Amino acid sequence: MSTAVADREWVLPIGGRMRPAEQGRTYEVECPATELTLTTAPDASPADVDEAVQVAADGAAAWRQVDVRERGRRLRALAEVIRAHADELAMLDALDSGNPVTAMHNDVAWGAEVLDLFADFASHLGGATIPASPENLHYTRRAPFGVVARIVPFNHPIFFASSKVAAPLMAGNAVVLKPSDITPLSALRLGELAADILPPGVLSVVTGNGPAAASALVKHPLVRRIGFIGSDRVGRIIQRDAAEVGVKEISLELGGKNALIVCPDADLDAAATGIVNGMNFAWSQGQSCGSTSRVLLHSSVADHVLNSVLDHVSTIPVGSPIDPATRMGPLASRAQYDKARSYIDIATAEGATVAYGGGRPEGMDKGYFLEPTVLTDVRPGMRIEQEEVFGPVMSVLTFDDLDEAVRIANGVDFGLTGSVWTRDVSTAVSLADRLEAGYVWINGSSRHFWGMPFGGTKSSGIGREESIEELLSYTELKAVNVLV
């Protein structure tokens, strides 16, 4: 498979037509497991981005007139094609992201499920009648924006590429998709597969090395709606750049420094399993904005839970991402690896203790492999407790009462997810209500439930996804008053 990837010529799917980037520009895509060049991908110029947007503007005019049920049928057809190419897409993601291929099979399946979910939502695109006056007719309609930019990160390439075009397409928009420059391959392949299903101009994929292509997309005057997933720093850049050229609707799903609280009455063994699952060690090497990377243990149960967590972590098989037995692969890039290692060093310098991991797995001298790492003796206010690592580094803190737990949990700039473990219903509901987070699990972690709105508060973003709210966010509401 890796030879086939290296030997093929990757092209830009621009509105259904396959072509190289301007002047044949390409850049190297690295395999993080080997640190070797995997292949070359198109390096889109601003002119390439402009063509993709212009084609999308033409495609959007026709696509918005297509019956919503037919749009839903096209999304379902795309989901089926994705399922039919599951092995190929999962392997592409394993090769250029480092995520385990077995986990990427789940990402493929979930991306297809979300396409089906938004096809199910077709009838929710209607408006309402409003009794604003007794003698007249007042109603609302929902209309698509036109051209939508979807900019997605490297940690779940095919899942984000497929699932994040679902809502804007269902709403009647044309989409220009920009994947991470680290992991462009499955998105490019998705664009090729979609060309036989979606009308011309409705979906384009642009890839590029560095921020130039994304910046050109954000600043394009015909792009009126932007959906971004990534860091809070880049989210702020997108807000600023977009504002320079006009007023645009922007949704941001950004970082997290998420707290998982274990109360003294919790099922402690289940909580320990939930803690390890919540860090997403075995899905994306902890490179997940929703990871519960701050574990808050009641002091009376801290030792018991921590020992169980360490037992679980020690059994995670780390290895080649294309090996079906691997549950944890390498980090996605040298930059991600260096960042995670630097935060471990910062944490220990500030007084934290490495209870497990902290370095390369034995025998893995090549690739961006880092052991699952558990830090203890972490205190509120440490950088490791405040800042997102986006890697396999978990911080463990203790608390003596629930008010203290809430203060620690809410004492960061982020507010994406949270998790509460307790057998007491009143405690569970109270803590869930008090947590400054957009998505909370009670006696659970990590899992997403399609249809439940996912998104954060504070620096974790604006807007909600995976739900009706996401679909409606890709429409504009028009009020019509019929005077009789």
Structure tokens at 268: 């402690």
- How many whole angstroms from its chain centre is CA 57? 26
- What single letter denotes the amino acid at residue 142? R
Q: Provide the β-strand partners of residue 225.
A: 148, 249
**What separation in angstroms does the CA of 222 have from each of 54, 79, 429?**
8, 28, 45
- Tokens at 160, concatenated: 């984000």
* Contact partners, residue 463, CB within 8 Å, separation at least 6: 227, 251, 252, 253, 455, 469, 470, 473
Among 398, 28, 363, 11, which Cα is nearest to 189's? 11
Which residues in 323-449 belong to E strands, given as ranges?
A: 353-356, 373-376, 393-399, 414-415, 417-421, 439-442
- For the record, the structure tokens of 246 come out as 């006009």
What is the spatial distance between Cα 144 and Cα 153, in angstroms, rounded to a whole number?
Answer: 24
Residues 290 and 401 sit within 8 Å (Cβ to Cβ)? no
Compute the distance between CA of residue 458 and CA of residue 341 in angstroms, rounded to an integer. Answer: 27
Q: How many residues does the chain have?
A: 484
Which tokens hold the place of 359? 């370095």
Catalytic residue of the set 30, 88, 263, 289: 289
CA–CA distances in Å: residue 273 to residues 97, 216, 259, 317, 441: 25, 44, 15, 16, 14
- Which of the residues 51, 253, 385, 388 is marked catalytic? 253
253 is catalytic: yes
**Hunting for tokens 């190419």 — which residue is that?**
85
- The catalytic residues are 253, 289
